[in-house]
Amino acid sequence: MGRILDGVAIATAIKEEVAAKVRGLAAQGIRPGLAAVLVGKVAASEIYVRSKVQTCADLGLYSEMITPPADITTEAMLDLVRSLNDRDEIDGILIQLPLPAQVDAKALLDSVSPGKDIDGFHPVNAGRLQAGRPALAPCTPAGIIEILKRSGIPISGQHAVVVGRSDIVGKPVAMLLLHQNATVTICHSKTRDLGAMTREADILVAAIGRPGFITPDMVKPGATIIDVGINRITDRAEFERYFAGNEKRAAAFAKRGSTIVGDVHPRAFQLAGAYTPVPGGVGPLTIAMLMANTVRAAQMRRELPRRGL
């Protein structure tokens, strides 16, 4: 079993750095601000957004949680975003997905000012990222790079294989790895002989959204595995497929009726030189990088010098 890359510890360190930057900006009369928009009442999303708002408070950032009704129209949402774009005390705008079916999510995300797009989803930021210019990068991909760097995992000259091609994780993490001088291969569910590709990876990023998709026979011994997947399983037979013999997990599963598994089969980690666990790996970095992006947006909007994150 390889070395565990502790996402919780790395996220804590990043938050401490963000808090220090917030204190430095406060000395200049600046308080970075985040507006989190949650449409309707979705219990899981509400918990997630509230945790972001609470993290802002913990780190000294200003935040607002805006909760439009579930039946809101696209035009009304566009008006809301336009008002947030115009507010100087708001540096970052977060629109929690998914949105109700009647709301045009693409139009809404595209309406966010690129300078306040702390999720890094806007086409302008995607283009800047590809061009290697200063941009707000998507939080999960940026967090993956931080995990690798802060864990002393070499990137330059390594062969990185990314399994997954989403605009949120797969494509941007491939671009960020390329900017760190990795040789990058992007694969997906339609890739022929996928295992032959993944077995060549020094760094294997699994972001395909399928539980246990990367099996032990697909992993090069000693590789670094970054498991982005968060898949909830409730079926006992499926649980046994991944966690047979794991008494601690079995007890938790019996109590809760569910557990989390990543996109990598847990037995594949036995071959890794280092890996991110699920949970406790990539997940905690997402909120930490969201806070870092909010501060970065505040600095970029005011053309202030930036160091580090």
User: Annotated active-site positions, please?
Assistant: 52, 96, 119
Is 222 buried (19+), middle (13-18) or exposed (0-12) by CB count in 10 A?
exposed
The DSSP result for 20-32, as a single string, is: HHHHHHHTTT---
Q: How many C-beta neighbours within 10 Å does residue 279 have?
A: 15
E-assigned strand segments in the chain: 3-4, 33-37, 62-66, 92-95, 159-163, 183-187, 203-206, 224-227, 231-233, 259-261, 274-275
* 21 contacts: CB under 8 Å, gap ≥ 6: 295
Please tell me the distance from the alpha carbon of residue 209 to that of residue 191, in angstroms, as a whole number: 15
User: Crossing angle of helices 283-301/43-59, nearest 10°?
Assistant: 60
